[in-house]
Amino acid sequence: MSDVSVAQRRSSDVLLPPGEGGAKRRMRAMSLSRLAIHATLILACALYLVPLVVMLLTSFKTPEDIRTGNLLSWPEAFTLIGWIKAWGVVGSYFWNSVMIVVPAVLISTVMGALNGYVLSMWRFRGSQLFFGLLLFGCFLPFQVILLPASFTLGKLGLANTTTGLVLVHVVYGLAFTTLFFRNFYVSVPEALVRAARLDGAGFFTIFGRILLPMSIPTIMVCLIWQFTQIWNDFLFGVVFASGDTQPITVALNNLVNTSTGIKEYNVDMAAAMIAGLPTLVVYVLAGKYFLRGLTSGAVKG
Amino acid sequence: MASLELRNLNKRYASGAPDTLKDIELKIDSGEFLILVGPSGCGKSTLMNCIAGLEAITGGQILIDGQDVAGTGPKDRDIAMVFQSYALYPTMTVRDNIAFGLKMRKVPQATIDEEVARVARLLQIEHLLERKPAQLSGGQQQRVAMGRALARRPKIYLFDEPLSNLDAKLRVEMRTEIKLMHQRLKTTTVYVTHDQIEAMTLGDKVAVMKDGVIQQFASPRGIYNDPANLFVASFIGSPPMNFVPVRPRRQGAQWLAALDSGQARCELPLELAGDETLDGRELLLGIRPEQIGIAGSHSLPTVLAEVKVTEPTGPDTLAFVELNDTKVCCRLPPEIDPRVGEVLALQFDPARVLLFDAGSGERIALGPARSNGSAKKVSRLHPR
Amino acid sequence: MSSVAVFSPKASHGRSTDWLQAWLPKLVLAPSVVIVLVGFYAYILWTLLLSFTNSRFMPSYKWVGLAQYMRLMENDRWWVASQNLLVFGGLFIAISLCLGVLLAVLLDQRIRAEGAIRTIYLYPMALSMIVTGTAWQWLLNPGLGLDKLLRDWGWEGFRFDWLVDPDRVVYCLVMAAVWQASGFVMALFLAGLRGVDPSIVRAAQVDGASLPTIYLRIVLPSLRPVFFSSLMILAHIAIKSFDLVAAMTAGGPGYASDLPAMFMYTHTFTRGQMGLGAASAMLMLGAVLAILVPYLYSELRTKRHE
């Protein structure tokens, strides 16, 4: 329905309406259709925002307030009690996540950049095949490697350690990080590398002095992608970590889904906000790179 | 500067695959300007990459100053290259682009500064030194790319179609500048192009390539006036050489070729030194457009032909007629402006036409002075 | 040219550095090759092997052939999980695609606040499925959630208890998943729409086509690749969905909202049915391949035809 009205707006850009009256009618139809489009878009915005608003409102309420009010009722009095309690429960796990995310993101990005460099600029027999094998990793349902991975971590003495989780995230993040850099570097003219070789630069010099300085946007995309992926991970966290080493997603899930005691929804929501804030902040600050990561991850190869 | 010699050079990408380069033999002296010219896919860029060391060769030798460098990497060959895309390092300033090769070779900073200044002055890019490549126009980028090569003072310069990304006007300007620069610096240069005007104007020597084989290696004048085969004759020259199919007949001691324009017939005497096997065989008569003129001399045979279309280009008028059902271009002086349908009396010197075998494309020698007896192929001209 | 010698490379530059340079790319790639061969492919084979054994709490290598797959086929809970995946996946993909396309087309009409609106549609994608699950569990809470909100707003008879209704709990999962992923589909299609050559639209307008016709017949069909890659991603999300179920319903009530990923986790890691879990994991891989292989095949074929 809104499409029909759009038609008139667009065609009016190109075709002049026949007469005066026609023009007026068209103008009215046009603004009506514009209104409909804007209304639809704004309504959708509201719907998308509701869960976030509800989470925030609930997190600032008292349990009493939650029982008497409703999802969208304004808190009787803003209280930080939920946030304080939530931080008490999930705070240490928050730092666990940080300890996992930082090294895992950095290592997998560095490896991805080097892999992408080799796979685009220094191809050799079999390198394309390897890239194909690696790409499949983007689609791998991780359930299929959980058991052997946990045996291996056990053998290495890394079960239930932060190091173990870092390792797992590096290994299974490699497919995407390599893809990002490889896809960027194939768009870089090979003549640059040739010129640098004639200038006397070697493998690492070409990478460090010429390609890396060009890759800032790709590095951002990769860092942000890996950060969201690893921060938001639950499967590896719940399988490969226990107790003190769990990441925040696992801690949040444990908090929310324990059946003992009275449910404190304000604490649940505050904890969920704490778990969600780092990625939300990154998204708001660097949404451009976040989107680019999603789309280039989508349009594979 | 150094001399460059390629001996029996071969390149194949995979065993079993066809040769990309086959038995390449070339030699230029120190300070000479060599042009590699040919249609795209003829192997000229591959050959250049092999000389640079960016691609390994499968056989033969590459001698720089008499020393075989075939086994060494690009950085040890002391060669600089100007790329078609310029390949300027996008994150570095012009100054750093020019200095990069020197830094890699651990040249002292003071010398680097001197070199950059020298090159910038030479190419008049002093005001651009602190800019990034993206802030430069195409012509400026081109200069910087040349500057980067010049700063290194390498043994050999390689140019890979350096002008093909410039617009027509700038291309002519830069062509002249490259020539001036070469006359001043006397650098040994290998220059790849598919533009036959660049080939003719710039080179001391020209190697015409096709399908990985050198068709002819000679001076530009030699290539133009004395092409080794049909391919070279048709590739060099603009507008291209006309090829009229003829079947020469022997009449007494003379060979005659019939030309039919639809309006008239003409028997063209050929100074053909051939034997009986040529009688009635299909040959191609090669005539350059500027060799055809309006009849004026009594000693030359005249062909009457109707003008089909004219193209006044400014300096010339190109008139197209048909001879033996083939379109023939005549380059006439600009003051001659024939109407379409007008019949012109055309003349050309039978002694200056070229003859090619229609099947093999090989050149067939003309003139009793040049050969006595059977028709022979003109051998490929390899100045050794 | 007096200073020629200064810049010439030293002749003593040995072949050993050349050799190292030639091998460096391979050396750099080597760890990743090992990682991929072991961490991806050897592990898949290992899981395959386990699925043919009677491993329970600990891996054992007693060969039982296809017995675990047989058990899986007879397992009621597996069938519920698979059926749920079909319903959940089908609805999730269809609704996300429709919503995403609609929002993208609307946003393509030169909306002034486009950037801000886009940001709002896409932000759920930045959140963990666990956070999403927690939020929606609360939103759909029977008694205190949406239920109460609408009654407070005057809709006296309104009841909403799908979250605890075994027949309808899967639709709750769909709602949360659509909320999370539809903005992403919108972003993909919006990028695709921006890539459509405007002269095609002009040509169609000159030919007298109306805008809905232009979108339906010309613009959207030209976005076929975007459509397929969205489909791929959504299907992939659906098959892997584990966190959302874990956080929102934990598979409940009973096992009414189980999905294969949840089934695999529960049997492998909490119920000591490692062999059965491995078999279910292999079937999940099979499902991914069943979608991936035809997609890649058609991709490659069209690329060759171009």
The ipTM assigned to this model is 0.86
Q: Which CATH class is domain B4-230?
A: alpha beta
The model's confidence at residue A250, banded by pLDDT at 50, 70 and 90, is very high
Task: Please give the Cα distance from B88 to B99 (Å, whole number).
Answer: 12
Cβ–Cβ below 8 Å for B111 and C3: yes
Note which residues in 103-122 of chain B have CB less than 8 A from chain C. Answer: 105, 107, 111
Contacts of A104 (CB under 8 A, 6+ apart): A165, A166, A169, A170, A173, A226, A230
The region of weakest confidence among A93-97, B34-38, B335-339 is B335-339
What mean pLDDT value characterizes chain A? 85
Mean pLDDT of A224-229: 91
Helix (H, G, I), strand (E, B) or coil at C20: helix
Residue B62, pLDDT > 90, answer yes
Mean pLDDT calculated for residue range B34-51 = 91
- Touching subunits for chain B (3+ Cβ pairs under 8 A): A, C
Q: B85 CA to chain C: closest CA distance, Å? A: 25
Question: Which overall architecture, per CATH, does domain A82-298 show?
Answer: Orthogonal Bundle (1.10)
- Decide: helix, strand or coil at residue B274: coil
Among chain C, residues having any CB pair with chain B shorter than 8 Å are 1, 3-4, 6-9, 13, 15, 18, 21
Touching C: A residues 172-211, CB under 8 Å: 172, 174, 178, 200, 202-204
Chain A residues closer than 8 Å to B74 by CB: 194, 197-198
Distance in Å, alpha carbon of C36 to nearest chain A alpha carbon: 6
The answer to whether the CB of C135 falls within 8 A of the CB of A269 is yes
| Nearest-by-Cβ selection for B102 from C4, C7, C21 | C7
Nearest neighbour of B153 by CB, restricted to C7, C13, C18: C7
Q: What is the pLDDT of residue C212?
A: 79
Q: A269: which chain C residues are within 8 Å (Cβ-Cβ)?
A: 134-135, 138
Distance from the Cα of B77 to chain A's closest Cα (Å) equals 8
**Other C-beta atoms lying within 10 Å of the C-beta of residue C119:** 17
Q: What band does B261 get if pLDDT is binned at 50, 70 and 90?
A: confident
CATH class of this structure's domain B242-364: mainly beta
Q: In the numeric block, which tokens belong to residue B147?
A: 């500057």
Residue B379, pLDDT score: 38
A79 and A270 in contact (C-beta within 8 Å)? no
Q: Where are the alpha helices (DSSP H) in chain A?
A: 2-14, 20-59, 63-68, 81-121, 127-135, 143-155, 162-185, 190-198, 203-205, 212-214, 216-232, 235-240, 248-256, 265-285, 287-298
The fold of the C71-305 domain, in CATH, is: MetI-like fold (1.10.3720)
Task: Tell me what pLDDT residue B224 has.
Answer: 92
Above 80 in pLDDT, residue B383?
no
| The two three-digit tokens of residue A215, written as one number | 């890759």
Ranges of each domain in chain C: 13-51, 71-305
Distance to chain A for B191, nearest Cα, Å: 16
Residue B258 has pLDDT above 90, yes or no: no
Q: What is the predicted pLDDT for the residue at A27? A: 62
Query: In chain A, which residues have their Cβ closer than 8 Å to the Cβ of B86?
Result: 191
In this complex, is the C-beta atom of A133 within 8 Å of any C-beta atom belonging to chain C? yes
Residue A28 has a pLDDT of 63
Rounded Cα distance between B47 and A284, Å, is 52
Q: Is the pLDDT of residue B21 over 70?
A: yes
Helical pair C67-74 and C274-305, crossing angle rounded to 10 deg: 90
Q: How many angstroms separate the CA atoms of B151 and B94, rounded?
A: 12
Average pLDDT of the segment spanning B227-234: 92
Q: Which of A199, A206, A212, A219 to mutate to test the interface with B (most CBs of B within 10 A)?
A: A199
Of A139-148, B328-337, C213-222, which range is least confident? C213-222
Backbone angles phi, psi at B131, to 5 degrees: -90, 165
Q: Looking at chain C, how many residues does it have?
A: 306
Nearest CA in chain C to A300: C229
- Smallest Cα distance from B192 to chain C, Å: 24
Contact criterion met (CB < 8 Å) for B75 and A210: no
C-interface mutation test, from B76, B114, B122, most C Cβ less than 10 A away: B76
Q: Does B53 touch chain C (CB under 8 A)?
A: no
With 0-12 / 13-18 / 19 or more C-beta atoms within 10 angstroms meaning exposed / middle / buried, residue C291 is: middle
Measured between CB atoms, which of C36, C246, C268 is closest to A146? C268
The string of pLDDT tens digits covering residues B171-213 is 898 899 899 989 988 989 999 998 888 999 999 999 999 999 9
Q: What is the pLDDT of residue C33?
A: 95
* Cross-chain residue pair C36–A134, CB shorter than 8 Å: yes
Q: Using CB atoms, pick whichever of A195, A210, A214 lies closest to residue B83.
A: A195
Question: What pLDDT does residue B152 have?
Answer: 87
Query: Average per-residue pLDDT in chain B?
Result: 87
Domain ranges of chain B: 4-230, 242-364
> Do C269 and A11 make contact, defined as CB atoms within 8 angstroms?
no
List of residues 6+ apart from B124 with CB closer than 8 A: B143
Determine the residue of chain A that is closest to B160 in CA distance.
Answer: A191
Asked whether the beta carbons of B82 and B158 are under 8 A apart, the reply is yes
Find the mean pLDDT for residues A241-252. Answer: 90
C8 closest CB neighbour out of B71, B78, B111: B78
Residue A143 is encoded by which pair of tokens?
């359930």
According to the model, what pLDDT value does residue B275 have?
67
CA distance A123 to A140: 25
Burial C125-139 (b: 16+ CB within 10 A, else e): bbbbbbbbbbbbbbb
Residue range B208-232: average pLDDT?
93
Amino acid at B214: I
CB pair distance less than 8 Å for A192 and B89: yes
Question: Contact C122/A291, CB-based, under 8 Å?
Answer: yes
Verify whether the Cβ–Cβ distance A253 to C211 is below 8 Å: no
Give the residue from C4, C7, C23 with the most B CB atoms within 10 Å of its CB, the best one to mutate.
Answer: C7
Q: How many CB atoms lie within 10 A of CB A56?
A: 13
Distance from CA of A182 to the nearest CA of B (A): 18
Q: Which residue has the higher pLDDT, B14 or B141?
A: B141
Q: How confident is the model at residue B384 (pLDDT cuts 50, 70, 90)?
A: very low
**Dist. CA B370–CA B273, nearest whole Å:** 8
Mutation for C interface: A2, A147, A228, A238, most C CBs within 10 A: A147
Query: B239: cis peptide before it, omega within 30°?
Result: yes
Chain A, nearest residue to C295 by Cα: A300
Identify all chain B residues contacting A205, using CB atoms and an 8 Å cutoff: 104
Whether residue A174 has pLDDT greater than 90: yes
CB nearest B87 (choices: A189, A202, A214): A189
Contact A198 B105 (CB under 8 A): no
Task: Please report the pLDDT score of residue C30 as a whole number.
Answer: 94
How far, in Å, CA of B188 to CA of B200, rounded? Answer: 17
CB contact under 8 A, A234 and C130: yes
Does A118 touch chain C if contact means CB atoms closer than 8 Å? yes
The rounded average pLDDT for each run of 10 residues, N- to C-terminus, in chain C (306 residues) is: 42 57 89 94 94 86 86 91 93 95 89 88 92 91 82 78 84 93 90 85 82 84 86 85 88 85 91 91 92 82 61
Residue % of chain A over a pLDDT of 70: 87
Asked if B75's CB is within 8 angstroms of A201's CB, the reply is yes
Compute the half-sphere exposure of residue C216: CA atoms within 13 Å on the CB side of its CA: 9
Mean pLDDT on A157-183: 92
Give me the percent of chain B exceeding a pLDDT of 90.
Answer: 48
Write down the pLDDT at residue A236. 94
Give residue A263's pLDDT: 79
B92 interaction partners in chain A (CB closer than 8 Å): 210, 213
Q: What are the chain C neighbours of A117 within 8 Å (beta carbons)?
A: 28
Q: Where are the alpha helices (DSSP H) in chain C?
A: 4-7, 15-34, 43-51, 67-74, 76-107, 114-122, 129-139, 146-152, 169-194, 198-206, 211-213, 224-240, 243-248, 260-265, 274-305
